[in-house]
Amino acid sequence: MKRKNSPILCYYANFSDGIQMARIRNLQNFNFEKVVFPGERLLFEAASDAQLEIYISQTGRESLLEKISCDRLQVSEEVKQPNLAAF
C-alpha cells in the first residue's frame, strides 16, 4: 500500500493549440515547472497530494486555467494478457 506522500507517476497532455505552463507549488521543498507545448505529453513524478496548476498566457498575462490533483493524473499499470486462442 502506498503512503500518502510517496511519489506516483503522473501523465498530463496539452491538447490545446497554445503553450501552457505546468506548475506544482503546493508542497514544501518541492518545486516543479515545465513548459508544455501544444500536443506535448508529459510524464512526471509527484506526491499523490500534489496539485498540478496549468497556466496559459493571454494578452501578456498568465492566467490559471485549471488545478488538477496529481492522484487523478496517476498512470495505472495494466498488464494485458495475450490472446492465446488466436495462435
pTM confidence score: 0.78
Q: According to CATH, what is the number of the domain 7-74?
A: 2.60.40
- The answer to whether the CB of 45 falls within 8 A of the CB of 71 is no
What pLDDT digit, counting tens, does each position of 3-61 carry? 556 899 999 999 999 999 999 988 888 889 999 999 999 999 999 999 999 999 888 89
If you count them, how many residues does the chain have? 87
* Sequence spans of domains, the chain: 7-74
Write out the DSSP string of 33-80: EEEE-TT-EEEEEEETT-EEEEEEEETTEEEEEEEEEGGGSBPP--PP
How many CA atoms are closer than 13 Å to the CA of 72, on its beta-carbon side? 6
